[in-house]
Each structure stands twice: as C-alpha cells, then as structure tokens.
Amino acid sequence: MLRQMEPPANPGDSPVELELTVQNVESALYQLYFDPVMEQKNTAQKWLTEAQASAQAWRFCWALLGPDKLPEVQFFGASTLHTKICHHWSDLPAEQHDSLRMQLLSHILHFSSGPKMVLTRLCVALASMALNLIPQVWSQPVADMVRAFQPQKPDSEGLSEAPQDPQAHCLALLELLTVLPEEFQSGRLAQARRTQLKGALVGEWAVVCPLLRQLLQSLDSSNQVKEKVLRCLSSWVALDVPLGESHELVQDCFSALSNPELFDTAVETIVNAISQPDSQRYIDALVNLMPVVLLLHDQLKRAAQDGDMETSHGICRIAVAMGETHSRVLLEQVEHWQEYLALVNMILFCTGIPGHYPVSETSSSLTLTFWYTLQDDILSFEEDKQAVYLQVYRPVYFQLVDVLLHKSHYPSEEEYASWSSDDMEQFRIYRVDISDTLMYVYEMLGAELLSNLYDRLGRQLMDPQQSAVWQDTEALLFGFQSIAETIDVNYSDVIPGLIGLIPRINISNVMLADTVMYTIGSLAEWLADHPVMIGGIIPMVLQGLGKPELSVSSVSTLKRICRECRHDLVPYAQDILTVSQDVLVKEIHKSSQCMWLMQALGFLLSALPEEEILGRLHSLITSHVQRLDTLAQQEPDPANKPSIIHILGLLSSLFTTLDINREADSLEGAPSPTLTPTQSTQNPVVVVLQQVFTLIQNVFSKWLDDSDVVEAVCGVFEKSVRTLLHDFGPMVAQLSEMLGQIFCAFPQASALDLARQMVHIFAGEERHIANIQSLIEVLTSATLTIFQQGPRDHPDVAESFMHLHAQILKRKPDMYLSDQLDVKRLFYCGILSLKFPETATVKAATLFFAELLPRCKDMPLLGEVLREDGKLLTETLLQAVGGESPRSLSEHFSEVLLSLNRHCPALLSQWLKDTLQVPGFPSAQVSPEQKHTFRQQLLREQTHKRRVKDIVKEFSLLCRGLQGSGYSDY
C-alpha cells in the first residue's frame, strides 16, 4: 500500500516550488493520498497534473514504473504515459515511435502478472499509441502484438531474466486486444479520422477472431482466459465487425453458458453480438444461430422450475435480443417460419415465467417491447402477406393477452403486505407497462379481444367458485380499463354488458375496488354518449368516495364523470353534492384529492340551471368560508397556515372548473374565445368573490409576509380570471386596488403573475383600462425600488416583472406613453435581469426585449432609450455569452442579439465594434480576428434564428476556451 511511502523530506515545501524529479513526484503522491489537509491535497493534485503535462514526463514516467516502486506510483507512471500519448503525441519525434512501442510492449510483458491496474493502464497507453499510428505508420498492429506475446527464446532481448508465464502473457494480450476498440470508442476524433480508423480496426478482426476462437475451444484455457476472450469479443462487436465472419465464434460462446463461472459474461457477450443492427445483413449467420438459441429452451424451463432467476434472466435476454433485433428479417425467411415461431413461443414462455415480478422473477418485463416490434413488423407487410402472418400469430397474441393478465395478478393480501415499498412501486410500473402492451395489442386483435375479456368476466361472475378468486376479476377489469383508457370503445357492443356486470362484482378488497373505480373512470366518455347507464354507476362511485383507502381512484373517477357527463348529472346532483360535502367536512381525503373533488363539483355546478347554482355554491362553501373567517381573525400561527392554504386551494380548484358559459365540448380549463362581456346577471363566482372579498383582504393583511399564503390567495383570483374571462369584470377595480396595496407592503411574484392575467384579459377594455393602468404604475414603481436596492435575492420577482411588462407591450403598448412609467429604468431592469443565473429569469428578460425592440421605431420614447442604452445592452449580452453566465443560457442571449439586428442593424454594428475592440473583452481567450469574424457573421444574419444560435454558441465556446474540446460539433 501507498502508506509504506516515505513522507516528503521537507513537508513544509509547497509542491508548486519543487523540481520535476521522480522523488518529488513520489512525495506529491504521498501528499495527495495521505495529507489530512485538503488544501495540501489539492495543491499536490494540481502539481501532479502539471507534471504530467510537462516535457520531462516522457522521461520520468519510465522511472516511476521501476520494479522497486509501489503499485500506486507505477500506476501514476502508466497513467502519465497514457496522458502524454493521448494529449501530447505531437511533442514526440517520429524517430522515437519505434522505441516507445518496444518499451511499452516490454513493460506490458513485465507487468503481465500484475498489478492489474498498472497492466491495464499500460495496455490503454499502447492502444492509444496504435490509434495515433494506424494505418499509415503501423499497418498490422494486432499481428505485431500477437507476435510480441509469443513465448520468448531464453536469450531474446534480455527478457529471459523474468520467469515466463504463458497464461499471464495470454491474459495480457487479451487485455490489450480488449482495450484497443474501447480506446477508439472513447476517444474524441474528427469524423473523417474516426471513419478511417474504424475501417482499419475492422480489417484487423480477421486476425483477432481466429485467435479468440482457438482460445475459447482449447481444453488448456482456464476460465479466466475464457472470460477474457468473451469480454474481448464484446469489445470488438461494438465496432460492428461482420457477423458473417464471427458467427461461429458467437456459437462457441453458447457453450460457456453451461459454466456457472462464465454464464453472466457469456450472456452479455452473446446479447451484444446479436444485438448489433448491422448483423441483419448476415441472414445465413442469423439463421444458423437460431437453433443454438432454441436449444436453450430446456435450460430455461429447468431454471424457471428451480427458481433460478439469474439463469432465467440471462437466457431470456438472449432470446429477446435475437427475436427483437431481427424480427423482420427472420419473419421474411419463410422457409424457416417454424423456427422463428418456436423462438416467439420461447419468448412467450419468458413473458409468462412463473412467479411474481419483481419479487420472484425479473425476466418477464424484458419481453414486453418485443411484442410491439413483432406486431409492427407483421402489420407493415402488404395485405396478402400480412393475412398469412396474422393466421399464424393472432393465436399467439391471444395467448399473450392471457399471459399478461395472469402476470398482472396481485399476490395474496398477506404476501403483498410483506413486500417492500420499492417492490410495490416496481410492480405498479410493471402493470402500467402491461396496460400499455394490452392497449397496443388491441390494434391487432380488435373487437374480438374485448368480447373475449367480456365472456370470461361474465363466466367468472356467474360461477361462485371462480368469482371467489378476486385476482381473476381484477385482472380482467384491468384489461378492459387498459384498452378503454386510450381506444375509442363507443362502438363496442360489449360495454353495455360490462356496465351491467360491474354492480354484480363482490368487492372484497382495496385492489379490486380501485380497479373497479378506474374501469368506470375509463368509460366516462362512453357514459356521456349513453346517459341511461349512469344511474347504475353513480351509487358505486359515491360509496367509494366515503372510503379513505379508495381516495385517489374514487375522486379521479368522479371528476372524469362530472367532466364528461355533466349535462346528464342533474338528477344525481343532490346526491353527489351531499356525499362530497360530507367527505370534505370529515376530512376523509388528503388535500390534493380534495382539490380534485372541488374541480369535479365545479364541472357539476356549471351544468345546473343558472338559478340553482348560487344556492348550491353557497351550501358547498359556507362551512369552509366560516372556518377561514375564524382562522383569519386569529393572530398568524404556523399551525393554522396549512388549513388556510387548504381552504384557499379548495376555492381555487372550484373556480377553475365552475364556468356557466362553458360549451359542452370545451376542454377542461380552456376558456371559450367566443364569450361576450355583457351578461344580464352576475356570474355566481363573482357574487361569491365579492361576498368573501373583505375576508380575503383580512387574510392578506394578516399573512402579508408569507409567500405561500399570498400565492394561495392570488391563486383564487387567478383561477377565477382564467375561467371567467370578461365575466370577472366587476371585480377588477377592487382587486386592482388590493393588489397594489399588498405588493407595495410586501412584494411577491404571485401578485405580478395575477396582474399579468388581468392585463391579458382587460387591458383592451375601455371601462377597465384606468384601473389596470393605475395598478401597473404602482407595481412598476415598487419593483423598480427593489431593483434599485439589489434584486439578486428576488429572482422570482424579476422573472414575473419581466413577464408582466412583456405582456403589457404585447397587449397594450400605449401604457408606455404614461408619464408615470420610467421607461429608461425599465430598460435597465431588463438588462439586470439578463445577468441572473436562473434560466427562467433570463428567459423572461429575453421575452421582454423581444416585445420591446420591435416597437422602438413606432414609439419615439422607446427609440430614444434604445439609442442611449442599447450599447449597454449589447455589452451585457456579450459579457454573458463570454463567460459571465452559464453556457446553457447562450441561446436566449442569441434571440436578443437577433432582435437587435433585425430592428436596429446600423446601431448594433457600431455597438459591437465599440465593445469588441476593448482588449480582453468579453474574454482574454478570443483574438481580435475571432471577434471580427463573430461580428461579421452575426450582422449578416437577420432571419435564421438557428444560425444565430450556432454563431453565438461557437463564440461562447471560444470565449471559454472550450472550442474543440468535444462541447462543439466537429
């Protein structure tokens, strides 16, 4: 261990001051590993990195590899060699290449018996060297490497002093051959050089393949050698070496599957080999591999029977890789159709492997995507050919449905309770995947699938013995729900029967009850077209609503029914409202489900006769408003805060969906654009808001400095504005005044967001413009003060402020003519917002400038500000691009530069010239020539947003010294 190293002779000396000697390198390594002071460690690491980059490193690295050195020192020596060859290759004269190669080979032979970490690093260094010399200088690297590792004569080149170990030499050669393709894959190479190198390496496969085959077949080869052969094959396969030349070697790998020590590596190698897309070109090779894969079926069955999950999993991976990667090619080999059908049935066995996923089996989930691929390939054939394949494979897919439904079964309640939460979550995701697969399979099997499920459910429910097994019923409903969730089942003739069967189900536990609820929810659209069936379903849903354990499923189902069927729910409205009020008062559900429930009731109330709505609305919210009133009268107490936010959330959720003007087919939450501002009677929501306005003001004043409560209050109004649109008009004056007062007292982003909504809807209305104008002036004045004092701690306020003014410029730019708005200071706020590190704030500022800059020509006041401060804006953008802001934000800055170039190109040209001629600006990394090129390229582009983004991105990389480091495209 490195602890045996001697500490530095002069521990006080900083490594930075030391000479580049072997002793000092060892001292720095000691310091790096064992100095308790982190600062000293960092200094040592920095010095060692600089040492590796120095010219002397070519010499001292060999001394560090001396046999008397500790493994960690030797490892640093080998790493230094690799670093030099990788990054400083051009420093080495060409005449020294041969001697370096011989030294490396000699050291690899010397370290063939270990330490392993040093050997691997030396192999990587030689591989890196080979990649620098192939093919021009070193035309046959593999043959030369193999020759170098042949048993040496005793007197050859002084190597006789080291005892020869053929196995160690063989393993070292295999390590070298393994890292050669890996080093190629990980290297950053220009595309032309990558293509050239790949071609040269693939050419070397003709030497590697027979060697690997010989070693794998040899009776003398140890498991260690065979495992290394398998890993080496995996490495070369990633180069897309031709399967036609290596399928016999791949077949040999299957023999390793009977060896427990080699099983995992063999699986990985076989899967890698047959998963290469390029291998589809070698049809004969694939056909020859099919029987070899099929021979694994017996081993698979035995493993499944014995509960050997690792073996099952491995063989399943091989079968799926073969079937999925080459599905179409193998389907087209008509003369081998029985073999491929046998493979498909083998994969079906894997899908239905005994046990519960993920506790007692982990293989079945691997197979699901195969069924998508096979179906897509079958359905992509022309009609005549497709009919033949469907005749063969439709029965398989009906079997698949049975298997999937069986695999979706819950275990017994006792067993399920013993599962960990991770296992439960994995099983939930697994069932979602099965659900998606069933939905996809419907495309192939069609209405017959639903009939099949319905017949089975009917037989089950009529047979007392069968219906006692709740998992069977649950699985069939799960199948129905999976399909009905995404497929239009309106024309299915089995749905009426299913709706009739649902009330007959003996709901004996939570899992079954949940699925019943979700199944009803998935049929909400069908119920909207068949309202006569609603009466039999509503009582079940309302019964579920009273059970905490069915909270999510029952509430989401009621919401779906209220949204889709609201116009047919009038006869049931009283029952729905009564049960809902009861569960809300009893606090049966968590807060999020209460919000869903309120949204459901909003849909329901929207469809009632107008004269009934206000009364029912009052009865629904009175108890909550009274509770809020009680809380508002008390002094602020953290214990009361969740209740206040909860009640405000209930009101927000209700007002999100309560829209008496909603058209029957309008989407949830989507305002209808055809509404008119004139209404004969006030909207019920407005009436309620006016009645509780004083109470809300009271909450506001008490909790003014709590952003969560302020956000919840603003949420009530924001949701109302979004839903009611112009109907909200009577509230504008009151709300504008209150928002202004609140924001001045304690600025919050949510108040600015609410003001933005009001600008969006009411800025164009004459009767509201005075209130809106006054509100904007108050908010702007208060926010400008924040910017003056330093806005860094308020990125959310800066973001919302930019969004607000972007909306004003978009909807009502005339507001900028007001004497009360200091446009120059607003412009400066935009510049400050561009300097924030938060993406959202920068994006909002770019939106602000995107709206402002096009109006500078038509609005003299804005034009004047731009002429005065445009240079500062340009300077800020260049500073940000040059390194002051995260690189990910550069595309947002490019949008502002493009806008400047579109709307004031002459001014931008001058500003760029003035700012870029300053030495070292925006970065010392860019030369005057590069800055000039950037300016020319930028000014040339006034239309193509993508091109400007690329120009700015490239300049940003140059400024940061990252050009050519892999961050940009070659």
pLDDT tens per residue across span 801-832: 999 999 999 999 988 888 888 899 999 999 99
Name every residue whose Cβ is closer than 8 Å to that of residue 54 and which is 6 or more positions away in sequence: 20
Widest pairwise Cα distance in the chain? 111
The sign one gets for the Cα dihedral 542, 544, 548, 554 is: negative
The sign one gets for the Cα dihedral 581, 582, 587, 591 is: negative
Q: Which residue has the tokens 């009101």?
A: 651
* 67 CB burial (10 A radius; 0-12, 13-18, 19+): exposed
Does residue 843 carry a pLDDT above 60? Answer: yes
pLDDT at site 466: 66
Tokens encoding 389 = 């394949």
With bands split at pLDDT 50, 70 and 90, how would you rate the model's confidence at 17? low
Does residue 866 carry a pLDDT above 70? Answer: yes
pLDDT at site 154: 47
C-beta separation of 644 from 593 below 8 A? no
Peptide bond into 135 cis (omega under 30): yes
Name every residue whose Cβ is closer than 8 Å to that of residue 48 and which is 6 or more positions away in sequence: 15, 25, 28, 29, 32, 76
Name every residue whose Cβ is closer than 8 Å to that of residue 778 and which is 6 or more positions away in sequence: 740, 743, 744
Averaged over 193-200, what is the pLDDT?
87
pLDDT at site 730: 92
Averaged over 839-862, what is the pLDDT?
92
Angle at 369 between CA 367 and CA 371, to 5 degrees: 80
With bands split at pLDDT 50, 70 and 90, how would you rate the model's confidence at 400? very high
Does residue 105 carry a pLDDT above 90? Answer: no
Does residue 3 carry a pLDDT above 60? Answer: no
Does residue 966 carry a pLDDT above 70? Answer: no
Does residue 841 carry a pLDDT above 60? Answer: yes
The sign one gets for the Cα dihedral 942, 946, 948, 951 is: negative
C-beta separation of 47 from 24 below 8 A? no
pLDDT at site 1: 40
pLDDT at site 695: 93
Name every residue whose Cβ is closer than 8 Å to that of residue 148 and which is 6 or more positions away in sequence: 105, 109
C-beta separation of 833 from 848 below 8 A? yes
Residue ranges of alpha helices (H) inside 663-811 are 684-702, 707-724, 732-745, 749-762, 766-789, 795-811
Peptide bond into 684 cis (omega under 30): no
Averaged over 824-847, what is the pLDDT?
92
Q: In whole numbers, what is the pLDDT of the chain averaged over residues? A: 88
pLDDT at site 47: 85
Q: Work out the percent of the chain whose per-residue pLDDT is above 90.
A: 60
pLDDT at site 475: 95
With bands split at pLDDT 50, 70 and 90, how would you rate the model's confidence at 100? confident
pLDDT at site 629: 93
With bands split at pLDDT 50, 70 and 90, how would you rate the model's confidence at 4? very low
pLDDT at site 537: 93
Averaged over 248-263, what is the pLDDT?
93
C-beta separation of 348 from 318 below 8 A? no
d(CA 585, CA 624): 8
pLDDT at site 673: 41
Q: How many CB atoms lie within 10 A of CB 65?
A: 23
Torsion of CA 523, 525, 526, 531, to 10 degrees: 110
pLDDT at site 507: 84
Q: Among residues 623, 778, 630, which one has the least CA distance to residue 699?
A: 630
Residue ranges of alpha helices (H) inside 357-445 are 368-379, 383-407, 413-418, 421-445
pLDDT at site 15: 47
User: Half-sphere exposure (CA, 13 Å, Cβ side) for 305?
Assistant: 6
pLDDT at site 152: 57
Does residue 80 carry a pLDDT above 50? Answer: yes
> Which of 332-341, 346-355, 492-501, 957-966 is predicted least confidently?
957-966
Does residue 274 carry a pLDDT above 60? Answer: yes
C-beta separation of 129 from 104 below 8 A? yes
The helix/strand/coil state of 523 is coil
d(CA 541, CA 547): 10
Element (DSSP H or E) covering residue 185: helix 166-186
Task: Name the pTM for this structure.
Answer: 0.78
pLDDT tens per residue across span 574-587: 999 999 999 999 99
Q: Among residues 577, 641, 643, which one has the least CA distance to residue 615?
A: 577
Q: Among residues 837, 775, 833, 824, which one has the least CA distance to residue 803?
A: 833
pLDDT at site 754: 94
pLDDT at site 282: 84
Averaged over 771-792, what is the pLDDT?
91
pLDDT at site 5: 52
C-beta separation of 38 from 22 below 8 A? no
d(CA 108, CA 885): 47
pLDDT tens per residue across span 483-507: 998 888 878 889 999 998 998 888 8
